[in-house]
Amino acid sequence: MEIAIIILLALLILAVVILLVRQNAHKVDFTPQLLDLKNQLNDLQTKQLTSQTQTLDRQQTLFLSTQKEIREQLSGIMNSVNMNLSASQNNITSQLKGSNEVINEIHKKLGGLAETTRNIQEIGKDISSLQDILSVPKLRGNLGEFLLEDLLKQVLPAKNYQMKYSFKNNTQVDAIIKLGDGIVPIDSKFPLESFQRLVDAKDPELKKAAKKEFVNSVKARIDEIAGKYINPREGTYEFAMLYIPAENVFYETIINDSFTSRDYEIFNYAIKSHVIPVSPNSFYAYLMAIAYGLRGFSIEQQAKTIIGELTQIQEKFARFYADFSLVGKHISNANQKYDDTVKKAEKLNEQITKVTGNKLELTAGEGQP
């Protein structure tokens, strides 16, 4: 709009200039036209001013609206930033608090760890002392018997096992389990010296030689158990148990086939000799099975006792019933005799009545029907 007005003004000015030039050239009076052009120019200027004023008003309104919108957006952004800052500050404060708690907890645990380390050092000293004690075969054997007895005590009733059992030939075994009419011998002694040499050997050749020595030592122990303790004439079953008091020793004895000539060499040799190697874990499973078997055996024995008593009761009842039947038979016979006697008495009474002419009423005595 403003450009159009400017263009019109330029055209009017150009027209005025042309008229002035013509007036000078032809001496023609263009005063009316000039006045008219002047008026038009004034109108155009007025319209231009009005248009500019309106444009400025619109621009001012738009500016104020835009300024208000920008202010509101800035206010929203500031509020959001303040909220985020507050939340971040709270989060940081919470994290710092949590970090302080974690640090305090770490300090506590470090203190506990230091105490644990001291305890471990003390335990290490105790273990060293224990190893020195266990280096004596007699004391090591006593420890094995103690562990064996503790395991038996946990699972079996006291009446179903015995420690240090002596056979009639004065041979003594570490423990036995009583199963029905037989017993199962258990030996807890083990060649720990050869096992220790096997563990300490680092060179492959030395370890191979130590493994061979260990296998031979265990086989010799198996032969001794089978020869001394498996004796059916002494009431044993056809097998015995070799209790190995440590899982790592049991693994090396039964599972680990390295440096051996055959797979499961010791285990197969033991089974062939009727000796069952057991560790604390596997022995516990054996004992649980035996315990359940003993419970079943006890129930069976109780059932036999009950059946025996019921048989005796049944026999007594049969004798009672025979006596009762005989008494009933006697009562039946006596009742028949009574009825016959009553009939005879009534008939005799009728005969007497015919003779005397007086009828006698017969009545039963007290206690009679």
pLDDT tier at 295 (50, 70, 90 boundaries)? low
Q: Which of 266, 254, 271 is nearest to 215 (CA)?
A: 266
pLDDT at 324 over 70: no
Query: Quick one: pLDDT at residue 223?
Result: 93
Q: Which residue has the tokens 């052009």?
A: 37
Residue 15 structural domain: 1-134
Query: Quick one: pLDDT at residue 123?
Result: 46
Highest mean pLDDT among 108-122, 134-148, 260-274, 289-303: 260-274
Query: Which residue has better confidence, 293 or 247?
Result: 247
Task: Identify whether 103 is part of a domain.
Answer: yes
- Lowest mean pLDDT across 30-39, 85-94, 163-172: 30-39
> Residue 202: phi, psi to the nearest 5?
-105, -40
Query: Quick one: pLDDT at residue 48?
Result: 67
Proportion of the chain above pLDDT 70, given as a percent:
61
Helices 265-272 and 204-229 cross at an angle (nearest 10°) of 10
**54 and 67 inside one domain:** yes
pLDDT tier at 73 (50, 70, 90 boundaries)? confident
Please, what sign has the CA dihedral across residues 331, 336, 340, 342?
positive
Which tens digits make up the pLDDT trace of 168-209?
888 899 999 888 788 889 998 877 777 788 878 888 888 888
Task: Identify whether 285 is part of a domain.
Answer: no
**113 and 161 inside one domain:** no
> CB within 8 A of 198, min separation 6: which ones?
207, 210, 211, 213, 214, 252
Task: Identify whether 45 is part of a domain.
Answer: yes
Query: How many H helices and E strands in the chain?
Result: 8, 5
**142 and 273 inside one domain:** yes
> Residue 171: phi, psi to the nearest 5?
-75, 135
> Residue 86: phi, psi to the nearest 5?
-65, -45
**65 and 167 inside one domain:** no
- Lowest mean pLDDT across 3-17, 147-161, 166-180, 274-288: 3-17
The encoded tokens of residue 122 equal 């003390």
Query: Quick one: pLDDT at residue 136?
Result: 46
Query: Quick one: pLDDT at residue 131?
Result: 46
Q: Which whole-number Å values give the CA distances from 306 to 180, 312, 315, in the listed order?
A: 19, 10, 14
- For the segment 354-361, the average pLDDT, to the nearest whole number, is 70
**174 and 243 inside one domain:** yes
User: Which of 231, 254, 278 delimits the end of a domain?
Assistant: 278
**232 and 264 inside one domain:** yes
> CB within 8 A of 318, min separation 6: which ones?
none
**127 and 229 inside one domain:** no
- For the segment 337-366, the average pLDDT, to the nearest whole number, is 71
User: Which of 213, 243, 278 delimits the end of a domain?
Assistant: 278
Task: Identify whether 358 is part of a domain.
Answer: no
**147 and 158 inside one domain:** yes
**125 and 227 inside one domain:** no
Q: How many domains does the chain have?
A: 2
> Could you give the CA distance from residue 63 to residue 306 in angstroms, rounded to a whole number?
112
Strand (E) or helix (H) holding 161: strand 161-166
Q: Is 241 helix (H, G, I), strand (E, B) or coil?
A: strand
Q: Per the confidence metrics, is the pTM higher than 0.95?
A: no
Task: Identify whether 322 is part of a domain.
Answer: no
Query: Which residue has better confidence, 187 or 89?
Result: 187
Q: Is 276 helix (H, G, I), strand (E, B) or coil?
A: strand
**226 and 145 inside one domain:** yes
pLDDT at 79 over 70: yes
For all residues of the chain together, what is the average pLDDT? 72
User: Which of 134, 151, 184 delimits the end of a domain?
Assistant: 134
**106 and 240 inside one domain:** no
Query: Quick one: pLDDT at residue 102?
Result: 66
Torsion of CA 273, 276, 277, 279, to 10 degrees: 180
> Residue 182: phi, psi to the nearest 5?
-125, 175
Query: Which residue has better confidence, 87 or 300?
Result: 87
Task: Identify whether 184 is part of a domain.
Answer: yes
Task: Identify whether 74 is part of a domain.
Answer: yes
pLDDT tier at 222 (50, 70, 90 boundaries)? very high
**239 and 105 inside one domain:** no
Task: Identify whether 334 is part of a domain.
Answer: no
Query: Quick one: pLDDT at residue 228?
Result: 92
